[in-house]
C-alpha cells in the first residue's frame, strides 16, 4: 500500500474538571470527551526520496519538526527503521488552536496510518503508549468515541455514547494559549467545579436534556476573562434553541447541543455574519 487517506476527527469536552496539579506541573483532570463527525483529512504517501514531507492547505501551519504529524512520523520511522520517504498532505477543517484536539487527531492518524501501511501489527494500546509521548490527547484521538478521562488525560475508559443530536461548533477568530489558561486557572482563588458524578449518571442514562443541564467546563471562567466573545457566542446559541452551550477544552471554541436542525442552522447563520467569528457550522457526534 503506497497511499492512504484517514479522517482525523475533532473532539469536544462534554465535561471538564481539574482535580489537582502534579509536581511536574501537569494538571490532573476529570473529563468526558466525545468525537465529532467534523474531521481533517490526512493523506500518507510513500516517496522515493528519504525524509518526511508535510503539506497543508493552511499556509501558516508549520511543515517541519514543529508539526506534531512530523514528530509522530519520525518516531515511527526511527523506531521501525522505515527506509521509504513519507509525505503527509493535511487538509484542515478543524480550527487550529481551538480546544478541539485537531493537531492531536492528525498525529493519531499518522501513527495509525504508518502502522497499517507497513503492517507493523501494533495494538491500539501500543499505539497509545507512543501517542502519549506526543501529547495527552493523542491516545484518546487514536481510539475516539465517548470516553471518561482521568490522570493527565491518559487514563481512558469507554462509556455510554452520547445520544444523537445536532452540534453547532463556533470558533472565534481570537485564540487562547492553553499554557496561559492553565496558569491563570492556578491563580484563581475561587473555582466553580462541574458536577462530574451527575454528568456521568446522565450519560449512563442517555438523557440528552440531563446531560445538557449537567455539562460544565472549569476552565470557562478563565478563558472568558481573556476572550469575552465566548460568552456572547453562548448567548446566541442559547437564544436560538440550544439545550446548552459550553466552551470545549481550554477554548476558545464553543459548541451547542440541538435537537432541531432548523434552530441549529439559524444559530450558524447569525454567528457567521459576525466579523469576530472564524468558523460556525453544524455537525454531529461520531461513535465507533
Residues noted as catalytic:
11, 137
CA distance 123 to 64: 28
CA distances from 80 to 75, 112, 115, 120 (A): 9, 14, 10, 8
Q: Do the beta carbons of residue 256 and residue 287 sit within 8 Å? A: no
Say if residue 134 is preceded by a cis peptide, omega within 30 of 0.
no
228: CB partners within 8 A, 6+ apart: none
CA neighbor of 149 nearest in space, from 287, 288, 7, 12: 12
Nearest in space to 147 (alpha carbons), one of 138, 156, 136: 156
Amino acid at each position: 500500500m503506497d497511499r492512504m487517506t484517514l479522517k482525523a476527527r475533532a473532539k469536544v469536552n462534554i465535561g471538564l474538571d481539574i482535580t489537582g496539579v502534579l509536581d511536574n506541573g501537569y494538571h490532573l483532570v476529570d473529563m468526558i470527551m466525545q468525537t465529532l463527525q467534523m474531521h481533517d483529512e490526512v493523506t500518507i504517501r510513500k516517496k522515493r526520496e528519504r525524509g518526511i514531507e508535510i503539506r497543508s492547505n493552511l499556509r501558516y501551519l508549520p511543515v517541519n519538526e514543529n508539526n506534531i504529524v512530523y514528530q509522530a512520523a519520525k518516531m515511527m520511522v526511527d523506531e521501525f527503521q522505515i527506509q521509504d520517504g513519507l509525505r503527509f498532505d493535511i487538509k484542515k477543517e478543524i480550527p487550529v488552536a481551538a480546544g478541539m484536539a485537531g493537531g492531536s487527531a492528525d498525529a493519531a492518524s499518522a501513527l495509525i496510518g504508518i502502522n497499517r501501511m507497513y503492517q507493523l501489527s501494533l495494538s491500539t494500546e501500543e499505539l497509545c503508549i507512543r501517542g502519549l509521548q506526543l501529547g495527552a490527547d493523542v491516545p484518546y484521538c487514536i481510539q475516539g468515541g465517548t470516553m471518561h478521562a482521568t490522570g493527565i488525560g491518559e487514563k481512558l475508559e469507554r462509556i455510554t455514547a452520547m445520544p444523537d443530536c445536532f452540534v453547532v461548533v463556533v470558533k472565534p477568530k481570537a485564540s487562547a494559549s492553553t499554557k496561559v489558561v492553565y496558569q491563570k486557572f492556578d491563580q484563581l482563588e475561587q473555582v466553580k467545579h462541574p458536577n462530574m458524578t451527575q454528568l456521568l449518571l446522565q450519560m449512563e442514562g442517555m438523557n440528552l436534556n440531563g446531560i445538557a443541564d449537567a455539562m460544565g467546563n472549569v476552565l470557562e471562567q478563565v478563558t472568558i476573562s481573556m476572550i469575552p466573545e465566548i460568552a456572547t457566542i453562548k448567548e446566541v446559541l442559547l437564544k436560538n434553541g440550544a439545550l446548552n452551550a459550553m466552551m470545549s477544552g481550554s477554548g476558545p471554541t464553543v459548541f451547542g447541543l440541538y435537537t432541531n436542525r432548523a434552530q441549529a442552522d439559524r444559530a450558524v447563520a447569525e454567528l457567521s455574519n459576525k466579523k469576530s467569528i472564524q468558523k460556525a457550522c453544524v455537525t454531529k457526534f461520531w461513535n465507533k
